[in-house]
Amino acid sequence: MHGQKGTATTRAITQQATTGLGKALIGGALGTIAFSAALRGARAVGLPRLYASRLLGSEVLPVDRGGNAVGMVWHLFNGSVVFPLLHAGLFKITGLTPSVTSGLITGIIHGVITGVGMGALRPVDGIIREPKPGFFGINRGATAPTLWVLSNIVYGAILGGSYGMAAAAVRRPRIIERVEEERRAA
């Protein structure tokens, strides 16, 4: 009986880790799509251009010589793998329950950190005809910092919500399993 309980516990822990991280990665991919769509949509209504793919790609190659493609891959990898793992770690370290609300909080943190990091970007000189973005993209226009942080908040909310749904889905079977064990023991 004890061996079965240990196996069930191991199985539950494995399921929680794989389901939770899987949902975090899916949430990261969905969040990246929403983040990118928000920035592209903002440009369509006349707000500053803050395309993450162009910003990242121009760090290594001219945008018109493959930099945009490299930047898109880099952006998708960061948004779908790196940042979801960092957000999941932040949820774990702080004890925050993953949810849309806690995702909003991590989205603000993410927006501030990446906004400051944007000031360190140094596009390959003479290659792009755009100004260096500056902190929070301020060199692109007065509304750029707000646009940047809001887009990251959307990203965080989607990621937190997806990851939170995974955590809730794993907790529910554990509770049911515990109630069944108590019934058998009684």
Q: What is the pLDDT of residue 1?
A: 45
Please name which of 30, 82, 34 lies closest in space to residue 56, comparing C-alpha atoms: 82
Q: What is the pLDDT of residue 13?
A: 47
Low-confidence ranges of the chain (pLDDT < 50): 1-3, 13-14, 17, 126
**pLDDT, tens digit (0-9, with 9 covering 90-100), for 6-18:** 555 555 544 554 5
The total of structural domains in the chain comes to 1
Please name which of 141, 137, 73 lies closest in space to residue 111, comparing C-alpha atoms: 137
Q: What angle do CA 111, 54, 140 make, to 5 degrees?
A: 65
Alpha carbon distance 26, 5 (integer Å): 31
| Amino acid letter, 165 | M
**pLDDT, tens digit (0-9, with 9 covering 90-100), for 160-184:** 888 777 655 555 555 556 667 777 7
Supply the pTM of this predicted model: 0.71
Q: Provide the domain limits for residue 109.
A: 2-185
